[in-house]
Amino acid sequence: MAFALTKISDIIEFNPSEKIAKNKVCKKVPMEYLQPFTRQISGYEEAPYSGGTKFRNNDTIMARITPCLENGKTAFVKIFAENEVAFGSTEYIVMRAIPGVSDPLFVYYLATSPAFRKAAIKSMVGSSGRQRVQQDVLENLELTLPDYETQVRIAKILSAFDDKIELNAKINHNLEEQAKAIFKSWFVDFEPFNGKMPKSWLAKTLADVSKIGAGGDKPHCVSEIQTPEFQYPIYSNGLANDGLYGYASSAKIYEESITVSARGTIGFVCLRQEPYVPIVRLITLIPNTCFVSAKYLYLYLKGINISGTGTTQQQLTVPDFQKTSIMVPDNDTMKRFTICADSIFEQIKHNAKEMRTLAQLRDTLLPKLMSGEIDVSEVEV
């Protein structure tokens, strides 16, 4: 295992040349498909090429603009066909491994390492809110890095964590799709009821079946990571990580409940199964369990169109939202459905907790592996 002071441009090719014909319809990865501190790209669109950065499988793409870089928007490209060239935001920096010199996955983990990110963030210049990374600073950055064989070992160790995280994410997606299918079968198609809605079911409003409120200001003290002192998640109306903003020392809502984004991307619905703090631009619904369970309310809201009001900037308000109609089944049906849904969402909760633990372990190991503090020469993955 050998480490040496290395100039980054000696092991990484920045923004490698690729060609796409003008107006050719191909795969596009907008910035919103990069999730914070997540290796895998969450999806893509198809659009005619009119400009933007170009990349292919085994490249690393990193946001170069604030606050996307600070929020951890860096991804490893592996969702396209062999030799397929895709494109994306002009605010990406593309990094490609040099064959025999650097390992593609190692390049990704290097780009997410504290030393590399710190240098990138420090290099930013431009007007407030539109600052960008100076690429030449990264190209000339010198770090103590391992030889090729050690790079491969380090990448395999860190990839084991991300592989399991990605597997759990797929399992959770499938589990939620199962829950949606059951909900549709029971409460949209009425299959257990001979295709007709029972007459005993009642039409009510969200105000009738839940306590609805709005998120408040963020706490005075916020931790970016979860600690024994700051253990309660703070949620905003963001989409990334279900709106996770940070962690607080105390919670505002302890009951199982639902949040709905009220500004920006209106109608983003999340089930909250642990105590948390909602902040501005977020509506909360605590179900009255005499009528509905949290899982029923969550799946009902996921299945309807939620829109806001306003001319300049639309928003969802509590007075308007609480008038939304909801069909409430009889108590026996609600109990039977909730028992079925509870088992599904308990597994989702378990998998999500495991994903958070794996991510924390990966992030703890990453700088230690990169610096050589941990000897990987005898490690078997």
Tell me the pLDDT tens digit for each residue of 62-98.
999 998 999 899 999 999 999 999 999 999 999 999 9
CA–CA gap between residue 362 and residue 19 (Å, rounded) = 35
CA–CA gap between residue 272 and residue 285 (Å, rounded) = 10
Q: What is the pLDDT of residues 5-63, one digit of tens each?
A: 999 999 999 999 999 999 999 999 999 899 889 999 999 999 999 999 999 999 999 99
Sign of CA dihedral 213, 217, 220, 221: positive
Terminal Cα distance for the chain, rounded: 16
Q: What is the pLDDT of residues 178-234, one digit of tens each?
A: 999 999 999 999 999 999 999 999 999 999 999 999 999 999 999 988 899 999 999
Fold of 202-328: Adenine-n6-DNA-methyltransferase TaqI; Chain A, domain 2 (3.90.220)
pLDDT for the residue numbered 306: 95
Sign of CA dihedral 241, 242, 244, 248: negative
Stretch(es) of the chain classified as CATH 3.90.220.20? 3-144, 202-328
Please state which architecture CATH assigns to domain 3-144: Alpha-Beta Complex (3.90)
pLDDT for the residue numbered 310: 77
CA–CA gap between residue 163 and residue 157 (Å, rounded) = 10
Question: Residue 344's CB: how many other CB atoms inside 10 A?
Answer: 16
Mapped to the 3 state alphabet, what secondary structure does 70-105 carry?
Answer: CCCCEEECCCCCCCCCEEECCCEEEEEECCCCCCHH
What does each C-alpha distance from 104 to 44, 56, 245, 311 come to in angstroms? Answer: 21, 12, 31, 47
pLDDT for the residue numbered 274: 95
Output the average pLDDT for the chain: 95
